[in-house]
A and B are shown apart, each in its own frame.
Chain A
Amino acid sequence: MRRTWLRTGFAALVAARILALPHNAEAATRGGKMVYARYADSLFLDPVLNDANTDIWVLTNLYDTLLAPTKDGLGVQPGLATKWESAADGKALTLTLRSGVKFADGSPLTADDVKWSLDRARDPKAGAWSSSLASIDQIDTAGDTVKLTLKHPDPTIIPALATFNAAIMPQKLFEAAPGVTPEDKAKAFAEKPVGSGPFILTAWQRGVSMTLRRNPYYWKPAEDGEALPYLDELEFQIIPDDATRLLKLKAGEIDGTEFVPYTRVKELQADPSLRMELWPSTRVTYLTMFAGTSYKDGKPNPMANVKVRQALNYAVNKDAVIGITTLGLGKPMRSFMSATTPLFVGQDLYKYDPAKARALLAEAGFANGFETSVLALSGNADEANNLAIVQQMWGQIGVKLRIDLVDNATRTARYRAEDFAMRTSLWTNDISDPSQITSYAAYYPNIHSLHSQWQDKRVDELFTASQQEIDAAARAAQYKEIQERYAAAAPVVFLYETPYPVAFRKNAHGFVQIPLGNNLFEGAFVEK
């Protein structure tokens, strides 16, 4: 465990240097303001009770976790804890807290705050994320050390402590928030959250803007030893329309924006006043297939046959889809998880081969093809493009695809009811570990493998074992086998992974988006 930590620590250092390189040439500007446009506002800034990426991706600017994901997303680095050590049997973890850390109101961050925050986050009744900390049996504090006693060895506990829901909150301030029940207090506190992160939220006009001021007590120093963050003020403006966000950027009314449509990336790359940034992400795009023997209405399901699922994969030319939808910015999926996920093992998946697809269909008894349907989001240009191409390619092997356009809540409802043939899907990891995506995509007991009803008992066994495997090599081997078995069984139509496309004015620097999606502004600055 120790060795792993040293190794990831080194990797983190290397990654940090690489990412920091472009800015080393010029000294960072201190002070000033950056305006960053987001497509949607946050909903609920509570680390434990939130549900949406619009919350998760900005929480890192307000709160700290004991450990932090490295910028390459593959490991963890020190956060509020400077040291951590696993017991030899893997059933305890002892962390040493950084001394002198204060919350943004100036009050000290104590071991009691840590225990209280983690107890709140692991309460099974609170929030959708508590399972990441479920292995904790007991938390004890002594001075500046925090000891987690685990119910069983848990290789995911270290990355879990670097995940947003394990953020450390000020117990006293939270309890002083108005409201009687913990839920009411959480709502009140999330309106004016106080953490130990680089910024503090000072104004929030819902649907319009969020203003964050620099936290004068932030503990992390910049490379030059001076305090971070560089910016005095960070403003998030909410601009839902893609085209409007880019017009605002070009007009210089904002310094940066997220979610640049792929179709506009080349144009922005050519604009001398702007800088296009493509951050490696954990985002994968695929089609989920229902693989149960029959549909809700009792009709038999062709996709229950693995040969049909393989045929559908062979019939899709991923490079063509990538070329048309992402204009070449994507890369073919090489596993069900992204190449940026720890323990990823990639292989060439289903190289385009319509003849083989036809042969497989014939073997499965569908020589003349069949009709099927897919649930897709109405108004989503990327999905529309993907499906138009897939529809045409499948047409060549006799598979007629009907595209049913629905809104997200409808798609989710049909998905949860397992009342669908296929659906469009997109995934990003929240944690620097393969266990989260695997528990949803491959491990049947959680949500029936993406509600596909596909089950491989061996994969379930491997996953269960991997959740307690503290030997890194053994765990890697388990994940290799899971990924290979998944690829062969093809419960999804593998499409592509894409980076996060972000654009800035030329004079705005230092923003980082890690593969998990978190937006880091502590090192951001705007040249005068």
Chain B
Amino acid sequence: MGAGLRWVWTQITSMRTALLLLFLLALTAIPGSFIPQESVTPIRVSDFAKAHPLLNRIYQPLGFYHVYTSPWFSAVYLLLFLSLIGCILPRIGVYVRALRTPPPRMPSRLNRLPESASHPVTGSEDAVAAATEWLRRNRYRQVRRDAGEVPGISAERGYLREFGNLLFHISAIFVLVGVAITNLYGYKGTSQVVVGEGFSNTITQYDAFHAGPMVNVDRLNPFTLILKRFLVAFETGPVQTGAAREFDATVQVTADGSTTTRDLQVNHPLTIDGTKVHLLAHGYAVHVTIRDGQGNVAFSGPVVFQPVDTNFKSLGVIKVPDARPQRLAFQGFFLPTAVIDTQQGPHSVFPDALNPRVFLNVWSGPPAAASGVPENVFTLNTTGLTQVKKGNDLLRIELAPGQSYTLPNHLGSISFDGWSRWAGLQISRTPGLWLTVGSIGAAVLGLCLSLFMRPRRLWIRFLRQADGTMLAEAGGLDRADARTGLSDDVRGLVAAATGSDPEGIEVRSRGWADPVTPPRTLAEHQSSDAGVLDTTESADDAPAGAQEEAKK
């Protein structure tokens, strides 16, 4: 049992598994970009299901309409994060120990390191002190490693590399934690607010609403806003005709007993008490006055229509349940710039309201008792209603602003008073956002450290020659791939220690003639230079570095 679990854990935290999971994550994310997703475009999902019944039979049970919350996608990323945690936790311990460990002991033969140099000490100043000073200036950690009468220094730098690596992976976990907090404690809803009307932050005012399980939906933070003005402009020039050019809403916000007038634009959300209000959509509301058969005003006001194409042909339903003797309902569309031709029928050719028209069909029926069952305001349930005819044809009303139409059979009349815009507002609270954003920032920082920091070891010692002169001998080793400048460091150190001109110091490179080319891996370097380091260095030191590299 214990051994089995250990085996599973070893498998999960192995680099090979992590790689496999990474590529699996990429692979499993693909279907969601081609198959419509319920969370993104629910209408396209139902359209797709209708159009492809066979594929639907496969996609539906496999969760292909909600790939990113499906069990298999979740399994991949949760396993990946498990693997990541299993990888990172032990490495934190290793890193802390490495921080406490002084730079390693002196190799017996410095001239077998990847880069090495030696030079007689010419200056009169103390060579050891000069080397110490150079290493300090170049931000090396150093320790004296005297061997008998031979003074020497071991130095190391680039500890931040592994710190960055750990920071990146830990931050990745906290990005997910932030997302989880937002999903648990956040909410998001939309409301279409007609110019001149208002919104108050209670659940009943939302058209669509989604809240995390920890949100008390009866106690959303209270505020109200009134849409005072909403300016929309479209491109009228020849390039990108009809493209949106400006959305600018002025809203009056009342929160905490004080009222302020604020500007709301795309890309510039309002923040009210930690709740964000985004301007996401726009459309047209049709103002109508409807009189019933008894001459009373049965309905008056704006009705929100839903845009269905880029030129804002908008569909809508006007329900008049209070009309007497017959209740009435209208269904049809609003065209902001109406053009009627024989091929396409009535359609809109521009998104702005340059030639607005409404086209409506009419239903009537006996009054029905209010059932109390909530009803979708955008669809018409025609049960108990019959469509009104004119002669043998179905009645179709076309109205320009200011025009009225008297319905046949003494049903009443409708007048199209005008139009106004509505703004699609999204009201949301994302309590984990700052954790997510902060973690992403930390992750990028960690990534830069882990990729650009140069962990490097240098050694220098001063040998007394037979003739009484001193010889400075130095060598260096890079502990990460693809680094440059090791020979410069070795040269600089020797020059500083011997008080001589760096130009005059020859650095020997072993095996890799081109200074850009590092050893293929530290491990290979170890094997090809067998016995160079392990006689003096703690046996597991440099190979451990190679394994660290190999692990993540």
Physical interaction between A and B: no
Task: Show the binding face of A for B, using Cβ within 8 Å.
Answer: none
